[in-house]
Amino acid sequence: MKQLGKVSHISNRNRAILRSDQTPGFGLPVFTKDNKKFGTVYDVFGPTKGQYISVKVFGKFSKNLENRIGDTLFIPSKKIEKRGRRKRRNK
């Protein structure tokens, strides 16, 4: 697992906002330190160095979300392939 960043605040749409040096892909799963699936990457915004990541939180974590401020969140270290069409290889 790679560290994504620490939760800095909660948006008015109940999304966890964190600051990160990485640019993860949209829809990438986000985990807590004890490997529980916390949510998915919803948006990346702000400056290119030290951008903000918006995480859409799963239902079971949405209660008492204010208590999660300061928690470190993680993403998988391996690249996850998304389902869909395969790219054609040029021969």
Q: What is the pLDDT of residue 51?
A: 92
83 or 87: whose pLDDT is higher? Answer: 87
- CATH code of the domain covering residue 56: 2.40.10.230
Q: Is residue 13 part of a domain?
A: yes
11 or 90: whose pLDDT is higher? Answer: 11
Q: Is residue 29 part of a domain?
A: yes
- Cα dist. 44→34, 67, 90 in Å? 24, 23, 32
Q: Is residue 30 part of a domain?
A: yes
Q: Is residue 35 part of a domain?
A: yes
Q: Is residue 82 part of a domain?
A: no
Q: Is residue 9 part of a domain?
A: yes
Residue 88 has pLDDT above 80, yes or no: no
Task: Compute φ and ψ for 39, nearest 5 degrees.
Answer: 175, -160
Give the number of domains in the chain.
1
Non-local (6+) Cβ contacts of 76 within 8 A are 1, 2, 28, 29, 31
Cβ–Cβ under 8 Å, residues 73 and 16: yes
Residue 11 pLDDT class (50, 70, 90 cuts): very high
87 or 26: whose pLDDT is higher? Answer: 26
Residue 40, domain extent: 2-75
Task: List the helix and strand counts (H, then E) for the chain.
Answer: 1, 6
pLDDT digits (tens, 9 = 90+) for 49-86: 889 999 999 988 888 888 999 999 999 987 655 555 55
DSSP 3-state assignment of 41? strand
**Predicted TM-score of the model (pTM):** 0.79
Q: Is residue 40 part of a domain?
A: yes
Rounded Cα distance, 71 and 80, in Å:
24
pLDDT digits (tens, 9 = 90+) for 22-39: 888 899 999 999 999 999
Q: Is residue 80 part of a domain?
A: no
